[in-house]
Structure 1
């Protein structure tokens, strides 16, 4: 195929034939879109003559609003019809989705990453009434949705967009859009009154197939259908053959459902492989044995030189392990050294904020910050969320030349690059089927759709073309049976949760199975909680005052032991040695939060300890078990750093990432439900208000009531210190800013608070 395209003596006729095929069948064949990419690459002058027609036949009407030929003009009438109906120049796929959403209660669809399915759903959300919940698989996607929603609504002060469930600013008649992970969405069920939610959008809904996260996802769907029976439910997936499985597995009404798997592609991919002979070749994963030499075409010159010429953006997929041990730079350090440092003020401001957030300085040297100064980004799930927001903004503003990333970017984040460079093909997913799906999502970052009037394509580079072809041609089907039914007798630690959902004994107020609450209500548990509160308060109102310093080491040890006893009671088993190490580190961080330590202070404390700042730094670092979800019965003991490294040489960034994982994966994801439920249950029984502070600590990371209100209003912990100077009054009902101080307010602060101000100011 490739040779016939490159050597084509009559490319005009061939392109016309492709247009005819697209007109009849639509852009449902990856091979057809690949052919278009090669004709544009090797026959650009001829391709440009037909490019307008190609955009029209692909249904990309928004790229060509003023057609100059009869064919495009005729097809453009479809786009005009969509514009009249939906106020947007939608593609046929997007229009089909909008029609389905308007007419059905349950929608489950699948489409490639560039098909624009999320675009259609977002625009329906813009126009609908009532509160909306958008459920995304991880916090990595929250930033993008917040950015998109705020960009659309601008300064509309009747719409509040929040990354957690809070009902504040009650003095305003607000419509709320919540962008949540499945874990954060549990707060929907603990509100005093049932919220008025009219639509739930589950993006990247294929996480229902993952064992641990899938359980929480399916639990959420079941609870949503029970508590919000009139709400519309939308499930969106990429590259799924049977999206109707979501309807079947949750016993939703077939008559009121729309399901469809769209195969439409509109963005091309050109695949390059490095052969074992050292040369680079074009290859096609869409034809049989397309990776074999006989079917490949040699790339003229070095693709590495082509890619790293300074004019292209490159996403380099690497393993998380290499990001932790620093080896991800081995093959690229020479190129990075040659890059000039960024000088744009907006970029420098972002870098300064990142430095401040993680506590980077000459004593705590950060590779992440050093690379940012060169226009090189690190992106993965353990980068602290606020830093990730800034990094993604850095990319969107065009400052990033290279992005080193893990499969976090496979979760649908809209950060396109000219080239996806597959330095690593290992995926952490359990099965090859799951790895193939994550891989398809990942390469979707190559050549995403733009607004420019041209056909878009990108490059994918690999040293294992056969595996790439295999994964791209691996089909994926959802199970038609919920993981709640299939895992109930497999996952012992989840069995109690699953059973409570299936037999409807889950306690919505305390967010725990009733059987677990019964264990947490026994006198032994209540006595342990009293001991914890007495130790923390020490007969005073100053929470945590007797936890500081070496003299209180015994108190800290006792508190850790008591918390562990509660957690083990909730599990109905003891922790193993590795789980115990993770739990101990997590509670140590909780104790730092009790003492009002910031994130960067906690990182500094942990880094100084692990790197033996006050000991012999030529020795191996102190042992520290990496963060891991709990419970994890099969977890083994291993150190965050290898023993063959000297303590003085450990990576500061690795401690940053691990500390964030402890806060996010361990404390928020694994421990928060149990301890919030246990202490709320204790408060319900005893009315001891001291317990409420512990709940706030696990929920918000602080017990400062004013800071908690700031967080509930949507401000980050980083912003609170500055904002306190401009706020005269804050409650659940309203936030009032000090008008005189706003006169001299810096522009960035004013932009941050403008939505919260009354129009008269």
Structure 2
């Protein structure tokens, strides 16, 4: 990962611990839910707490170590007993990702239903769902209206999985998550909580708040990271003009990404605003072409036909050249397509705001933080929190 201040942070990957416990041994009827045959060492260490007790569980483990499988194991146990599981995802982009991934539950006859502000709510489907997927903000709204027929389903939850529980430390969103969990605990006396995080330092404090005993509280170090992370700080030439500085940081970011792209990898670059994603992608297309970096598939007719499905014409012109951008202002379908194309390796470089930082899994070999601030409509440029930087 790479942060560009008058300095910067980069990440690269390979290797990982060997898996230890076969899925078929502990969850034979649900083996098809998991996209692997064996749980790795981190996952295996938590299984006795997740599957063998009714206690709340708190897990802090490195990014990409397999925390989602812990959530899935807890969900499997709950739905197998006839209960309802709620998965709290920090972003709508992640709720969409889980909906796609958890078609595996649907194949076994268990229904998954996403409830977000951008979708029309079907109360009957929500009530009948085995697995609910919501953002903290939507869950907050639902729990406030639990006594209405429309949101009565939220009072029947047996398991709540909190993904990225370190969101509690967020200045703007932390209080929403905290009050939502507190309200759920009051509405659902039988509620069990599984809290997951990659960047939580005060694990003991969170465990105490959630009444998770020591034996079901886990904090795993970097040795459990299956994809080693190399972090560094890169500098750029700082000038007097902030606008020119922005482009100096962009060219420096491309310097860092170029060797990975030439080697067949992909780069994800975080910038401050929606407008910045568009401008950076446009500049990067020309710059990479001038450097003769092979990133696009402009001559492929099938690729042209695929990109014609995009609603945003500027985005379409960009992805044809192998460079994309992603921000909350794009339509849901356009965001989904960009994410899918990046996963498939069709896009070599992707510029994004923080919408992709919280838990959305993308195969970036190099991650660069061009900007360490974000644009607030009321406050202007606001420095990113330590939490946001770590999450990226």
Q: TM-score range by the shorter chain?
A: 0.7 to 0.9
After the TM superposition, which residues 167-316 of structure 1 pair with which residues of structure 2 at under 5 Å, given as runs? 167-168=123-124, 174-185=128-139, 186-188=141-143, 189-192=146-149, 193=152, 195-249=155-209, 252-255=210-213, 258-263=216-221, 264-271=224-231, 305-309=258-262, 311-316=264-269
Per the alignment, do residues 106 and 349 of structure 1 end up closer, same or farther by CA in structure 2, a change over 3 Å counting? Answer: farther
Please state how far the C-alpha of 1:174 moved relative to its aligned partner: 4.5
Mapped contact 1:315–1:403 kept (Cα < 8 A): yes
User: 5+ residue gaps in structure 1?
Assistant: 1-33, 41-54, 62-77, 278-301, 361-365, 443-761
After the TM superposition, which residues 88-99 of structure 1 pair with which residues of structure 2 at under 5 Å, given as runs? 88-99=37-48
User: How many angstroms apart in 1 are the aligned matches of 2:299 and 2:365?
Assistant: 20
After the TM superposition, which residues 159-558 of structure 1 pair with which residues of structure 2 at under 5 Å, given as runs? 159-164=111-116, 166-168=122-124, 174-185=128-139, 186-188=141-143, 189-192=146-149, 193=152, 195-249=155-209, 252-255=210-213, 258-263=216-221, 264-271=224-231, 305-309=258-262, 311-320=264-273, 322-323=275-276, 326-327=279-280, 329-330=282-283, 332-336=285-289, 339-341=296-298, 343=300, 345=302, 348=304, 350-355=306-311, 360=312, 366-426=313-373, 435-442=385-392
Please state how far the C-alpha of 1:226 moved relative to its aligned partner: 0.3
Deviations 1:165-192 (A, max 9, x none): 643359xx94432111112113252443
**CA-atom RMSD in angstroms:** 3.5
Per the alignment, do residues 269 and 85 of structure 1 end up closer, same or farther by CA in structure 2, a change over 3 Å counting? Answer: same
How many residues are treated as equivalent by the alignment? Answer: 333
Give the alignment partner of residue 18 of structure 2, picking from 60, 68, 83.
60
User: How many angstroms apart in 2 are the aligned matches of 1:126 and 1:89?
Assistant: 16
Please state how far the C-alpha of 1:239 moved relative to its aligned partner: 2.0
Query: Which is richer in strand?
Result: 2
Q: Secondary structure at the match of 1:267?
A: coil
Q: Secondary structure at the match of 1:330?
A: helix
Scaled by the length of structure 1, what TM-score is found? 0.40
Mapped contact 1:83–1:90 kept (Cα < 8 A): no
User: How many angstroms apart in 2 are the aligned matches of 1:426 and 1:141?
Assistant: 23
Mapped contact 1:104–1:256 kept (Cα < 8 A): no
Per the alignment, do residues 311 and 85 of structure 1 end up closer, same or farther by CA in structure 2, a change over 3 Å counting? Answer: same
Per the alignment, do residues 329 and 274 of structure 1 end up closer, same or farther by CA in structure 2, a change over 3 Å counting? Answer: farther
Which stretch has the larger CA shift, 236-245 or 323-332? Answer: 323-332
Query: Does the alignment pair 1:110 with 2:60?
Result: yes
- Identify the residue that residue 85 of structure 1 maps to in structure 2: 26
Please state how far the C-alpha of 1:437 moved relative to its aligned partner: 2.8
Stretches (4+) displaced over 6 A: none
Per the alignment, do residues 381 and 257 of structure 1 end up closer, same or farther by CA in structure 2, a change over 3 Å counting? Answer: farther
Per the alignment, do residues 331 and 93 of structure 1 end up closer, same or farther by CA in structure 2, a change over 3 Å counting? Answer: same
Bigger RCO (CA 8 Å, 6+ sep): 2
Mapped contact 1:105–1:256 kept (Cα < 8 A): no
Per the alignment, do residues 427 and 83 of structure 1 end up closer, same or farther by CA in structure 2, a change over 3 Å counting? Answer: farther
Structure having the higher Rg: 1
Mapped contact 1:132–1:198 kept (Cα < 8 A): yes
Please state how far the C-alpha of 1:425 moved relative to its aligned partner: 3.5
User: How many angstroms apart in 2 are the aligned matches of 1:100 and 1:433?
Assistant: 39
- Identify the residue that residue 576 of structure 1 maps to in structure 2: none
Query: Which is richer in helix?
Result: 1
Please state how far the C-alpha of 1:244 moved relative to its aligned partner: 2.9
Per the alignment, do residues 234 and 348 of structure 1 end up closer, same or farther by CA in structure 2, a change over 3 Å counting? Answer: farther
User: How many angstroms apart in 1 are the aligned matches of 2:137 and 2:256?
Assistant: 43
Per the alignment, do residues 190 and 126 of structure 1 end up closer, same or farther by CA in structure 2, a change over 3 Å counting? Answer: same
Deviations 1:293-320 (A, max 9, x none): xxxxxxxxx7665234272211122221
User: How many angstroms apart in 2 are the aligned matches of 1:198 and 1:322?
Assistant: 42
User: How many angstroms apart in 1 are the aligned matches of 2:258 and 2:344?
Assistant: 25
Deviations 1:512-563 (A, max 9, x none): xxxxxxxxxxxxxxxxxxxxxxxxxxxxxxxxxxxxxxxxxxxxxxxxxxxx
Deviations 1:571-594 (A, max 9, x none): xxxxxxxxxxxxxxxxxxxxxxxx
Please state how far the C-alpha of 1:79 moved relative to its aligned partner: 3.5
